[in-house]
Structure 1
Amino acid sequence: SLFDFQVLVPVTIFCIFLFLLGIIGNLMTILLFQRYKEMRTTTNLYLSSMAFSDILISLGLPFDLYRIWKYKPYIFGDFLCRFQFYISEACTYATILHIIILSVERYLAICFPLKARSIITKHRVKGVILVSWVVALTSAIPILFLFGVEYRDRSLPDSEESKECKYKVSSAQSGLLQTMTWFSTIYFFLPMLCLIILYGLICRKLWRSRYEPGRCNTNNRKKYHRQTVKMLAVVVLAFAVCWLPFHIGRILFSSTAWTGTAKYRLYNIIQYFNLISMLLFYLSASINPILYNIMSQKYRAAVYKFLNLRPSLQHRNSSRRSEPTSPGHTEISSYV
């Protein structure tokens, strides 16, 4: 193993917790959004697709945990080695695209409500989600040629004990490793810049609308918009915090992988940094259901209903107060 036993045990326990939370939590999110009619909004279509992406990411955790304990020999074969990295990369891109598109939708719904009402429909949203998945799966194709099973001991190329699932030396020498590293980095930082601009414009609009007189229905819609933006902003912040070390680790790895300097200078530091980045990466795939439950009364009520639990009196009263008092509340302004 690359790490001491004292490190591996707590990491393994935490990984098991993340795996169960990522699978069960995101699966429950999908079931809630599909089962209850009041939860089938355009926003929740995106969140359901993101939950599916997080499930696929979480399914790769056992393989990474195995590699932490025993990085060689890799017993799962070349196809599974490539496919795991490919799915993880594709789901990363899909999540980023979903967050961007969902934030643009919120911007239109808040700043241009009349136009958004005619543009944002369930049929179009499903088409956009499908296109975003096609773009993500296509963008990640080079990963299939970047990783694979290689023999660490080149003097014994047929030795099963020296097989590792890792980046291919040929890809590093050809520059593909550095190219994909910078491509994925741009795929992360450029959308983050766009999100900062979008949420800045949304917050400015909501702040100005506080002083605009309106009917009760309009005030309810503004309240829902604020709750939606708060929840999405927290999701985006968690996404950025959890994935930033992952991309920094990639840059460090690609800058040292083909020169060999990591082996002599920063090898141990990079390994522990990558371990923390991996844990944060899988944390980002499991934390969203918790955020929904904390920030959305509607989501909590659906969870209680799904599990046949009775919410407390205080929770029922707060849920009643949060309901719109006018039937004019539209689907595009509803939140999770």
Structure 2
Amino acid sequence: MNVNYTENTPGSSTNDTDTSSLFEIEILIPVTIICIVLFVLGVTGNLITILIFKRYKDMRSTVNMYLSSMAISDILIFLGLPSDLYRIWKYKPYIFGDFICKFLIYLSEMCTYSTILHITTVSVERYLAVCYPLKAKILITKKRVKIIIGILWIIALVTSGPVLFLYGVEHPLGTLPAETMECRHLESSTQSGLLLIVTWVSTTYFIVPTFFLTLLYGLIFRKLWRNPHGIQDTISRNRGKHHKQTVKMLALVVLSFVLCWLPFHIGRLLFAWTGLGEFIHYHLTQYFNLVSMVLFYLSASINPMLYNVMSQKYRAAMSKILNPRQDSQLRNTIRSEQASLEGTETTSFK
């Protein structure tokens, strides 16, 4: 993630040659500890999610395939954490080189886009499964989901490409490179309008899916909680219960992602609009970016926590991985779910 600590401040990247941190030590230490904790929780939790999907065949529903792919994206995001921590402690000179600067920013952008696409697609699947169950059984297959996931990653890879040309390592004119090299947006690319293009792409990725998902989950909730015909048989009642649980969990995933990514997106918009940054207080801007960074990494670590809270099946599988003695309990849970759902493919963690 590129937190852009200096670029939102007029003149800071051209006149300031101080290589000290922009923040007090009283702020840096707690933020660093929080980020390290998020790193441990995020990497561990997402690895467990992937292991659950790989190890237990009965957990390989189509929804869980999307969630596992999202877990890979979240793990990749944490590759940029060491660089971001370095930059909040000593934002210049940047010592990791131009390639690392470009690659890490591109990686975070690409993974963010990928997550948005996955959340939107799996939500569409839930809508079909709830509102059109017969069509969903025909349309939603594991083979097709694998193809769709591959396409989503390709779209994210391509659409985040302009970021590679927007950021890099450079130093202000008239300064010593060894002292003032920064990983930041390039002046030439900004003047060419590339920053505006990237901002609009990012805005489209955020606003359009958010609006669409709000509408989609509204329709799903209305279908599940306001069914005028009611549920008659036990099998249908169990399926309705599982649908509700899955939709609740996915809705929380969507909400947490939107709330965590919103500050970062607002910060990018503020800087992209020429001249607006001049009206924002220097220190307020920097602390806003710092909060955005923490929330960004929180969004990459929170999903396994939500699965654990919302899903009994996920908790059982995680307990089995952490404690092999729980194997019999997990198998009983899976058998119970299979019996109630009669082999339905479109259910998720319960």
Give TM class, smaller chain: over 0.9
Measured in 1, the distance between the counterparts of 2:227 and 2:71 equals: 32
Q: Cα RMSD (Å) of the superposition?
A: 2.1
Paired position in structure 2 for 1:74: 94
Residue 249 of structure 1 pairs with residue 249 of structure 2? no
Deviation readout 1:263-309 (Å, 9 max, x if unpaired): 67522211110110110011000010000000000000001111116
**Which one-letter code corresponds to 1:241 in the other structure?**
L
Residue 56 of structure 1 pairs with residue 76 of structure 2? yes
Whether the 8 Å contact between 2:42 and 2:300 is mirrored in structure 1 is yes
Residue 188 of structure 1 pairs with residue 206 of structure 2? yes
Gaps of 5+ in 1: none
Structure 2-normalised TM-score? 0.88
Residue 267 of structure 1 pairs with residue 287 of structure 2? no
Paired position in structure 2 for 1:137: 157
Measured in 1, the distance between the counterparts of 2:131 and 2:42 equals: 34
Deviation of residue 310 (structure 1)?
5.9
Whether the 8 Å contact between 1:60 and 1:84 is mirrored in structure 2 is yes
Deviation of residue 84 (structure 1)?
0.5
Measured in 2, the distance between the counterparts of 1:163 and 1:333 equals: 51
Paired position in structure 2 for 1:306: 321
**Which one-letter code corresponds to 1:308 in the other structure?**
N
Residue 302 of structure 2 is aligned with which of 281, 287, 291? 287
Measured in 1, the distance between the counterparts of 2:31 and 2:62 equals: 37
Paired position in structure 2 for 1:333: 347
Structure 1-normalised TM-score? 0.92
Count of residues in correspondence between the two structures: 327
**Which one-letter code corresponds to 1:212 in the other structure?**
G
Where does structure 1 differ by over 6 angstroms across 4 or more consecutive aligned residues?
Answer: none
SS at match of 1:240: helix
Deviation readout 1:78-135 (Å, 9 max, x if unpaired): 0010001101001011000000000000000111111110110110000000000000
Whether the 8 Å contact between 2:58 and 2:334 is mirrored in structure 1 is no
Deviation readout 1:26-75 (Å, 9 max, x if unpaired): 11110111101121110010000000000011111111010110111111
Deviation readout 1:197-226 (Å, 9 max, x if unpaired): 110111111123375242111111111100
Measured in 1, the distance between the counterparts of 2:32 and 2:44 equals: 18
Measured in 2, the distance between the counterparts of 1:148 and 1:326 equals: 55
Paired position in structure 2 for 1:177: 195
Whether the 8 Å contact between 1:221 and 1:329 is mirrored in structure 2 is no
Residues 1-336 of structure 1 aligned to structure 2 (within 5 Å): 1-152=21-172, 154-156=173-175, 159-209=177-227, 211-255=229-273, 259=275, 262=277, 265-308=280-323, 323=337, 325-326=339-340, 328-335=342-349
Measured in 1, the distance between the counterparts of 2:341 and 2:249 equals: 24
Deviation of residue 326 (structure 1)?
3.8
**Which one-letter code corresponds to 2:297 in the other structure?**
Y
Deviation of residue 196 (structure 1)?
0.5
**Which one-letter code corresponds to 2:345 in the other structure?**
E
Deviation of residue 147 (structure 1)?
0.2
**Which one-letter code corresponds to 2:127 in the other structure?**
Y
**Which one-letter code corresponds to 1:288 in the other structure?**
N
Residue identity (%): 60
Whether the 8 Å contact between 2:238 and 2:341 is mirrored in structure 1 is no
Measured in 1, the distance between the counterparts of 2:322 and 2:81 equals: 27
Whether the 8 Å contact between 1:82 and 1:147 is mirrored in structure 2 is yes
Whether the 8 Å contact between 2:103 and 2:164 is mirrored in structure 1 is yes
**Which one-letter code corresponds to 2:28 in the other structure?**
L
Whether the 8 Å contact between 2:92 and 2:181 is mirrored in structure 1 is yes
Measured in 1, the distance between the counterparts of 2:343 and 2:227 equals: 17
Gaps of 5+ in 2: 1-20
Whether the 8 Å contact between 2:166 and 2:186 is mirrored in structure 1 is yes
Measured in 2, the distance between the counterparts of 1:302 and 1:74 equals: 43
Measured in 1, the distance between the counterparts of 2:341 and 2:24 equals: 61
Measured in 1, the distance between the counterparts of 2:277 and 2:140 equals: 50
